[in-house]
Amino acid sequence: MTPDWSPATVLLIVDWVIRIGALLWIPSRTRPAAARSWLLLVGFIPLLGLPLYLLLGHPWLSRRRVQRQAQVSEVVREEQLPLRALRWTPDGGAAFEMAPLVERQGAFMPTHGNAVALLDDYQAAIDALLADIDQAREQVHLLYYLMFDDAVGDAVTAALCRAAARGVCCRLLLDAVGARRGLRRYRRPLRQAGVEVHELLPGGLRWRRSGRMDLRNHRKLAVIDGRCGHVGSQNLADAVFVPGLPNRELVARVQGPVVSHLEAVFAGDWYIETGQRLPYQHDCPVHADDVATQLLPSGPAYPYENARDTVNALIHLARRRIVLTTPYFVPDDATLAALRIAALSGVEVQLILSAGNNKRLTSWAQESYYDDLLACGVRIALYEPHFLHAKHMSVDDGIALLGSINLDIRSFALNAEIGLICYDRGVVARMREIEADYLRHSRALDPAQWRMRPAWRRSREGIARLADTLM
């Protein structure tokens, strides 16, 4: 009997070969939660699911980038050895456990002698950055995920060109995807003015030398003359660069030894992208404010998920109150468990999210977590006046974390991020004031009313949640 090799039969055989191969291959190379989502997609649509998994299923980086990150971390550890007098040693509490964890993962020791000013006003933060660039005398280093071709992009470009004309060494690192419009508009005039411009994680035909196509450098930081730095959630764009959703952000302007650590993060990304080694700044003037800080870099080039581990450790170490502010909340199982345990243990857990969101699928997915969180006592507030793009958390009265880290799987596992940890009651008190202002302009989610939402919304949330590893 002649076998039936009709197109339908061949397609059926290929479908099942893909399904069985995916079942044997994907779970061994992907985390269980992500593997379930990918297997579901491959099971339903094999011919689409397999190529998507090959492109987006594993957060791989090129071997060269991973090796360079390891070299950067080793250099950071070695360069800090002569600066032991700047090390801050916690005398107990949560900081006693947090500081060693963050140092072992991200390489940066906690330092004393810093000043931290929290800038909650969008335009004031832009103005402060422009003023610092205009006062620069030696060098300006900017590393940003997004630079838009708008009034802020024009102003930053003009400030960099003025600085370069004064003989200041200016370098600009921009994410190849997030800053696509800014690179297209400003790269040529900046280079003509003498500013060194490079894109991070370029795609196209070069993606094999970078990594998985959707991995991004999401950091936002600036270092000027080694005397001050800026780090936070704010990009180089107008507050209304997304029409109808004006952003509200939080940026820290810092002085002291932490500035040299920000410089090291920039130099590390510069080296990973270009292969060029920049000199490490050793001049670390101690500031009278004497705030203890520590940098938390994270990303797929590190052996651990630094951001996720730090956030979860902070949640577990809280004894009285945690406030978490994020525009995107699509956590993994470990973070959900940490929040549940904290709330059930009697810790006041307050989650502040944005009522409006520029990513619809993400908004639907994060709503799927509300039932479980509300049931165990987590308070959820939806901020209404703006798109709350700020990313920070405060723990009890002594620890604050802010930067570019979202509380989602993408930020934990796929993006290069930067966080600033402040072990200081004064900084936490200032952050509490900002959080209180958020809450005054937020709508508290009522558990009883939330459970009355229609069934079609529950279904939409559940379907969107299946794509959590891609968000």
> Catalytic annotation on 58?
no
Check 141, 220, 287, 386 and give the catalytic one: 220
DSSP structural state of residue 211:
B
Q: Which of 261, 389, 408, 468 is catalytic?
A: 389
Task: State phi, psi for 117 to the nearest 5 degrees.
Answer: -110, 120
220 is catalytic: yes
Measured CA to CA, the distance from residue 89 to residue 82 in angstroms comes to 16
Residue with tokens 């600033």: 420
3-state secondary structure the chain: CCCCCCHHHHHHHHHHHHHHHHHHHHHHCCCHHHHHHHHHHHHHCHHHHHHHHHHHCCCCECHHHHHHHHHHHHHHHHHHHHHHHHECCCCCHHHHHHHHHHHHHHCCCCEEEEEEEEECCHHHHHHHHHHHHHCCCCEEEEEECCECCCHHHHHHHHHHHHHHHCCCEEEEEEECCCCHHHHHHHHHHHHHCCCEEEEECCCHHHHHHCECCCCCECCEEEEECCCEEEEECCCECCCCCCCCCCEECCEEEEECCHHHHHHHHHHHHHHHHHCCCCCCCCCCCCCCCCEEEEEEEECCCCCCCHHHHHHHHHHHHCCCEEEEECCCEECCHHHHHHHHHHHHCCCEEEEEEECCCCCHHHHHHHHCCHHHHHHCCCEEEEECCCEECCCEEEECCCEEEEECCCEEHHHHHHCEEEEEEEECHHHHHHHHHHHHHHHHCEEECCHHHHCCCCHHHHHHHHHHHCCHHHC
Instruction: Identify the CA nearest to 129 among candidates 232, 31, 5, 248.
Output: 232
Annotated catalytic residue within 289, 309, 396, 397: 396
Task: Reply yes or no on whether 408 is catalytic.
Answer: no
Q: Is 389 a catalytic residue?
A: yes
The count of other CB atoms within 10 Å of the CB of residue 457 is 12
Q: One of 112, 218, 261, 287 is an active-site residue; which one?
A: 218
Choose, from 225, 269, 332, 424, the residue flagged as catalytic: 225
Amino acid 245 reads L
Q: Which of 230, 261, 386, 391 is catalytic?
A: 391
Which active-site residues does the annotation give?
A: 218, 220, 225, 389, 391, 396
